[in-house]
Structure 1
């Protein structure tokens, strides 16, 4: 079955951007004058809708990046996104979920005023940071010059080596300043990544019918501190090993 997760997160992100634009308009009005009850309710609903799109975008983005962790709700998605440094303030994201639950179970003037204040002061700025972060990643993905088919072939090859737990694209393709024939540089994380395994993996990648050279290295074995920092800050995860189901 084809994997449409890459398309799905981009479509969801487009919807999030539209929803955020409407939320930002409401916040702008609230910063200029006091909202009446109907306007305040509209602001809260807009924030909840935008947050709903945001955490679902995160879930889809993580799936497209190779994560196989099951994310069942906004809390799971927030924890995974915070661990992946996709969101800046995990506490605020959890607070957004709590506010949604509060308006579901009880709705009074004091609660509405408190949540509206949080939307203006904390939630919207944090959602704006998320918008900026994912826009950067969206542009970076577009700029690495590798088609979904090419990435799928590489991920399929990596999946045949259970020792490989994660693969991160780095170098010119991750930075977006590659040339058409630039190498594909991958940093690997996992257990048992010795020279013999790397030789077999390199041979498997060479067998792919791709017009690129693929260079692999083991991230913990890299000693160049500048390269380590480059991979940590610029690297694009393209593969994550599927978890092994444990028996009872």
Structure 2
């Protein structure tokens, strides 16, 4: 079964656009309220894109490896190791860092944590784009 990757593409594109908007805004304003709002948007788009990546990896594994593949019984690290074994990702440690950033952003609000998650979001974009390309190439 072919996966409809539209929502993943849209999520990654939203993250890319928000990151670009934040960079452009930094060049024309120093207004903290505006920049903080844009940073919050980047974090929100990161959270969404990360979840979409995870869900599409899971769907791909169920479709292409084993229909009974259930990630609920695996730790997130084990899940990413399986994804790496089947060529979906190539850096388990990076994906674990994104997972930890995603989790830290949803449980509390702290300026320092927000800064860390924002930096993770910036690092995440090329990994998400690479995953999308891989899924497109192996979507049959």
Structure 1's 74 and 55: CA in aligned 2 closer, same or farther, altered over 3 A?
Answer: farther
Separation in 1, partners of 2:56, 2:75: 11
Q: Deviations over 1:10-29 (max 9, x none)?
A: 13x22111111111101112
Greater share of strand: 1
- 1:17-36 to 2 correspondences below 5 Å: 17-34=9-26, 36=35
Q: Counterpart of 2:71 in 1: which secondary structure?
A: coil
Root mean square deviation, CA, Å: 1.9
1:39 matched to which residue of 2?
A: 38
Measure how far apart 1:77 and its partner are: 3.5
- 1:69-218 to 2 correspondences below 5 Å: 69-72=69-72, 75=76, 76-120=78-122, 122-138=123-139, 141=140
Q: Deviations over 1:209-229 (max 9, x none)?
A: xxxxxxxxxxxxxxxxxxxxx
Q: Deviations over 1:142-180 (max 9, x none)?
A: xxxxxxxxxxxxxxxxxxxxxxxxxxxxxxxxxxxxxxx
- Stretches of structure 2 lacking an aligned partner (at least 5 in a row): 27-33
Separation in 1, partners of 2:119, 2:22: 9
Greater share of helix: 2
TM-score of the superposition, structure 2-length normalised? 0.82
- Stretches of structure 1 lacking an aligned partner (at least 5 in a row): 1-5, 142-248
Measure how far apart 1:74 and its partner are: 7.8
**Please, which moves more after superposition, 73-82 or 36-45?**
73-82
Separation in 2, partners of 1:58, 1:77: 9
TM-score of the superposition, structure 1-length normalised? 0.48
What is the number of equivalent residue pairs in this alignment?
130
Contact 2:88 2:134 in 1 (8 A): yes
Contact 1:55 1:78 in 2 (8 A): no
Give the structure with higher Rg (CA).
Answer: 1
Separation in 1, partners of 2:120, 2:103: 14
1:53 matched to which residue of 2?
A: 52
Separation in 2, partners of 1:132, 1:54: 12
Contact 1:99 1:115 in 2 (8 A): yes
